[in-house]
Amino acid sequence: MQFIRTLGLLLLLGVGAASAQPVSQHFYDKARGPTPILESAKPPVLGNAINDDVRRTRNYAMQPPIIPHRVDGYQVDKNFNKCLDCHARSKAEIYQAVPVSITHYMTRDGDMLAQVSTRRYFCMQCHVSQEPVRPLVNNTFMDVDALMLQSARNSSPGNGKPQKKN
């Protein structure tokens, strides 16, 4: 019992000592840059998104297609979805747009709906536009097709490697 009292007293003393020390107002987070955490940082100016309407190759099988045009100012909220003005299956042919995938018309259980499912309604959660910027880090990513082609070239005759003799 005496041990518990002593431990409680030490805990109270520790809390009191910690609260008595002055608190620094300037905490920094390296991801935010030089702006202290308690201050509002000015966001960087947005650049010009790529706006060429050229479809990009996907890097992996289930990658959502990227948006090849500007979307700043698009209203996409619970009341209206500007993307569906062109990409709805009923309008895609008129505007020569890629129609929304049939998977966007399915419920979580795979049942078909007459309209885009609410869980797939906010397009820019998955689909993003591209900025013509220099990468922050080097990227040596190769999609599976490029890897297979490279592997085939490395194992074919005439690649400079000696071939096994039978």
Enumerate residue ranges in the chain where pLDDT < 70: 16-25, 157-166
Instruction: Work out the mean pLDDT of the chain and round it to a whole number.
Output: 83
The CA-CA-CA angle for residues 37, 38, 42, to 5°, reads: 75
Helix (H, G, I), strand (E, B) or coil at 102: helix
| Side chain identity, residue 159 | N
Residues 6 or more apart whose CB falls under 8 angstroms from that of 151 comprise none
| Side chain identity, residue 52 | D
At residue 80, φ and ψ (nearest 5 deg) are -160, 145
Joined tokens for residue 136: 């922050």
Q: Which fold has domain 47-133?
A: Flavocytochrome C3; Chain A, domain 2 (1.10.1130)
Joined tokens for residue 57: 């190759």
User: Residue 45: what pLDDT?
Assistant: 78
CA distance 101 to 104: 6
Q: Model pTM?
A: 0.58
Residue pair 128/67 in contact by the 8 Å Cβ criterion: yes
User: Residue 165: what pLDDT?
Assistant: 55
For residue 104, how many C-alpha atoms fall within 13 Å in the half-sphere facing its CB? Answer: 16
Query: How far is CA 96 from each of CA 53, 58, 87, 93, 166, rounded to the nearest angstrom?
Result: 11, 20, 9, 5, 57
